[in-house]
Homo-oligomer: A and B are copies of this chain.
Amino acid sequence: MARRQDGGPRAAMTASAVALMRERGVAATSFADVLAHSGAPRGSIYHHFPGGKSQLIEEATRSAAHQLTDRIQRILDSGDTVTAIRSIVDLWRRVLEATDYVAGCPIVAAALGTEASARDIAGVSFTRWTEMIGARLVGDGVDPARAATLATMLVSALEGGLILAQAQRSAAPLDAVVGELELLCRAAGAVTPTE
């Protein structure tokens, strides 16, 4: 009934735009690239995206933000924060290995890109993730007054570690970050799995 998502060219194009943004950034992602990558018919660009590239990038960013937010929420729902951190890092690691360390976080690409609206969406996304993680930390026993700053630290360190991993073509920075974050969470009073 209310299914108006269309799985056709439009969805394929936003998905491809996300993939290309992750690998080369917003500015270096062209329509021609998106068409080639998605296999979408050439004539449907401005039919589906009358706002041109701005609109495509904006919708791609929104799509990536929703997807990642959902994924993070599911991870947070299925365990404590420390376990969630490990899951997220495993996710990044798989992406890096599958793309020869070229693909990063699409939201970071949007944040550092040339499209103002996409940058704003990135900002909201980061805020959202921070709030979600903060709530999870409180549930784990962390002092609510502390949870917000700790959550910001988690997001920042994971995104930064991912960038170092891309630049060094190695997952080692992510491993270092996850270890330090675990220590920090435990010291802050978050429950930990006894494994």
Residues of A whose CB lies within 8 Å of any CB of B are 24-28, 104, 108-109, 111-114, 119-120, 122-123, 125-127, 148-150, 152-153, 155-161, 163-164, 166-169, 172-173, 175-177, 179-181, 183-184, 187
Distance, CA A137 to CA B149, complexed state (A): 23
Q: Given A166-B111, A167-B122, A169-B123: A176 and B160 within 8 A (CB)?
A: no
Distance, CA A122 to CA B111, complexed state (A): 19
Interface contact A127-B168, CB-CB below 8 Å? yes
Given contacts A126-B168, A156-B160, A156-B161, 13 further A-B contacts (CB under 8 A): A24-B114, A108-B163, A109-B112, A119-B167, A122-B167, A125-B167, A149-B179, A152-B173, A156-B177, A159-B163, A160-B160, A183-B184, A183-B187
